[in-house]
Amino acid sequence: MTEALIGVVIPAYNYARTLGRAVESVLAQLDEADAQLLVIDDGSTDETPQVLEALLAKHPGRFRTLRKPNGGAASARNLGIEECVGDYLMFLDADDEMASGALAAVAQHIATHPDSRLIVGGHWSVFGDGKRRLHTVKSLPASAYLRVRGYLLDKTLAFSNGACVMHRDIFSVGRYPEHLRNAEDIPIFAQALARFSCSVIDQPLALIYKHADSLRHDIQHSVAVGVSLVDEVFAPARMPEALQGLRSAFLAQRYLSLFRNCLNAGEYTLARQFYCQAVRTDWRALTRWSYTRKALQLLFK
């Protein structure tokens, strides 16, 4: 494949039912920008190979596919970084859809913001009943400290993979941690906010489809990752020394997140353990009333 400004990567694992929608949404606008598409089959066991074969026959020469042994979303995205040709990369999930006009908007934004390395756009949330909710994007704080704090702690910044664009420079700091099968994108967004110039596009770039995954399955991955996520986010190569002071607060926040997830899944013993660890890490966790109220209610279960 020849060089391109924007490389779109779709990692696919057992999403044969929706993969065609995702691919078609990108192919429909490739000609609107200097962009190319790569689909990575992460060892799917469903009809994904057949779906891709049919799409390649329908759109000969329009996009490229690769198949690899299953290794998780992080490994598929890292292969995309190696194999895709774009200076800027967009990672679209196989069950989502690129919004109409997204690639043209991104190309125009790059032309007017050539120094930007992380570009954040809005998105539509699409629910099972067909209803949609538009998520607009706010201006990002000017300082790296406020950006990282807003993302990791205050939760005033939230990103969706399909609605963000990342320059290759971001991955010179560190790639997706392949040992994490959950929350593997958090270290990437954190390092981008900490070390690189960022900007926003005030229009939706993706349609993010919300569907009911197995909560227990999510909990298994979340608990397995545990607080190792904190070590990954605050690895010196990723997080500058000036921002390492946020580590303790993020560790407490991570324990609170695990507490909430376990509580919602009915894993009450684990939930109690994680809440106690949050308080031991930072007593100010007690002032997070939404969590403390739930912890008090847990005492009577």
Where does the pLDDT of residue 214 fall: very low under 50, low under 70, confident under 90, or very high at 90 and above? very low
Average pLDDT value for residue range 171-185: 93
Average pLDDT value for residue range 137-148: 95
Check whether 212 has a pLDDT greater than 70.
no
**Predicted confidence (pLDDT) per residue in 151-164, tens digit:** 999 999 999 889 99
Check whether 11 has a pLDDT greater than 90.
yes
HEC per residue, the chain: CCCEEEEEEEEECCCHHHHHHHHHHHHCCHHHCCEEEEEEECCCCCCHHHHHHHHHHHCCCCCEEEECCCCCHHHHHHHHHHHCCEEEEEECCCCCEECCCHHHHHHHHHHHCCCCCEEEEEEEEECCCCCEEEECCCCCCCCHHHHHHHHHHHCCCCCCHHHEEEEHHHHHCCCCCCCCCCCCCHHHHHHHHHHCCEEEEEEEEEEEECCCCCHHHHHHHHHHHCCHHHHHHCCCCCCCHHHHHHHHHHHHHHHHHHHHHHHHCCCHHHHHHHHHHHHHHCHHHHHCHHHHHHHHHHCCC
Q: Which residue has the higher pLDDT, 70 or 130?
A: 70
Lowest mean pLDDT among 8-12, 80-84, 116-120, 158-162: 158-162
Model's pTM, two decimal places?
0.92
Inter-residue contact 64 to 39 (CB < 8 Å): yes
Which range of residues forms the domain containing residue 239? 215-298
Give the end of a domain, one of 209, 238, 271: 209
Residue 231 sits in the same domain as residue 117? no
Residue 9 sits in the same domain as residue 148? yes
User: How open is the CA angle 155-157-159, to the nearest 5 degrees?
Assistant: 115
Check whether 216 has a pLDDT greater than 50.
no
Q: Which of 140, 120, 38, 52 is nearest to 81 (CA)?
A: 38
Give the end of a domain, one of 209, 236, 253: 209
Inter-residue contact 276 to 256 (CB < 8 Å): no
Average pLDDT, the chain: 93
Residue 184 sits in the same domain as residue 73? yes
- Amino acid 116: pLDDT: 97
Check whether 215 has a pLDDT greater than 50.
no
Residues 6+ apart with CB under 8 A from 92: 8, 9, 10, 22, 26, 98, 161, 162, 206
Average pLDDT value for residue range 158-185: 94
Q: Is the dihedral of CA 243, 246, 247, 253 positive or negative?
A: negative
Give the end of a domain, one of 176, 209, 242: 209
How many domains does one find in the chain?
2
Residue 186 sits in the same domain as residue 229? no
Residue 152 sits in the same domain as residue 245? no
Residue 168 sits in the same domain as residue 225? no
Residue 117 sits in the same domain as residue 233? no
Average pLDDT value for residue range 68-79: 96
**Predicted confidence (pLDDT) per residue in 246-288, tens digit:** 999 999 999 999 999 999 989 999 999 999 999 999 999 999 9
**Predicted confidence (pLDDT) per residue in 75-108, tens digit:** 999 999 999 989 999 999 999 999 999 999 999 9
- Amino acid 2: pLDDT: 59
